[in-house]
Structure 1
């Protein structure tokens, strides 16, 4: 699974202050996770046009269920600014955040969330089963933009899980041969 798929063709031109540019940076983070055989999700946090926090899934590597890309990027951004409040910051992440990450996004007061592909099973930002970021009872609501580089974001996940299933099937086949 360490051979990560290409994300972009060489002929793409990207404005360095666009959602696509920052999402491409999040995809680079996702590639790091892919190379480590982690679920390939990546995130960057932007303040005043500059990336101040990066993260990629490291749940298996760190043996920490909270080591999602968003959580690690939020921590890096807070350290960069010296403040837990990220109200002038935008988060770009390749996959729709889960409830844990959505809760952290609200508590950190992220201004805008931009995500690539939706996550129907566990998404908590409007594309999945719930939208925690715009709940009227919360003290902060985050604006949401979705579908930015969605095809690339979804493809890296599909490739990862396809390879994991193939690897799992090979292990099952080997075990079945032993148990005959």
Structure 2
């Protein structure tokens, strides 16, 4: 999970929501990914999908059987679907996502009986660190937006007008 957090910090440096993940096979990291949605201007550029693409290339197969994904935030519906489709054995989650999590918070797509594959789930690994990283990011983002709004308001005032 520590390496997934390092990946999330890469996203944060790009002013992306700090979500990171790694995929492990036979005790070795075979792929890393971090959120790049805004940077790439692509809704598919989630940490999990970026790592799954790399892992498939590394394994030489789209099936990632025998692999475990470590991710800092509970996967959304798109990423949960990709985990099922790629046949990843297990996902280890840092913190849960009450608004969009699909590994048990909103719905559990990873373990639905009707699907041809179910993914084992471990939750709460380095939870506080993962959660704090996200909270701090959004707090900073709100402050930046507030400052931009103030600057815009200030720049729109008429020159020489009384305040």
Which band: TM-score by shorter chain?
Answer: over 0.9
SS in structure 2 at match of 1:92:
strand
**2:112 partner SS:** coil
Q: TM-score, normalised by structure 2?
A: 0.94
Match of 1:174 among 127, 143, 151: 151
Deviant stretches of 4+, over 4 Å: none
Deviation at 1:175, TM superposition (A): 1.8
Q: What is the rounded CA distance, in whole Å, between the counterparts of 1:64 and 1:84 in structure 2?
A: 21
Residue correspondences, number: 157
Quote the offset at 1:176 in angstroms. 1.9
- Name the TM-score, length of structure 1 as normaliser: 0.86
Bigger radius of gyration among the two: 2
Offset, 1:174: 1.4
Give the secondary structure class of the aligned counterpart of 1:39.
Answer: coil
Displacement of 1:61: 1.0
In structure 1, the residue matched to 2:161 is: none
Q: 2:116 aligns with which of 131, 136, 139?
A: 139
Please show how residues 26-175 of structure 1 align to structure 2 within 5 Å: 26-126=4-104, 128-175=105-152
- Output the CA distance in 2 between the equivalents of 1:41 and 1:76: 17
Q: After superposition, what is the alpha-carbon deviation per residue over 1:12-34, rounded to whole angstroms, capped at 9, x for unaligned? A: xxxxxxxxxxx001001001111
- Structure 1 gap ranges (5+): 1-22
Partner of 1:24: 2
What SS does structure 1 have at the residue aligned with 2:100? coil
CA–CA separation in structure 1 for the residues paired with 2:148 and 2:3: 34
Q: Indicate the SS of the match to 2:115.
A: coil
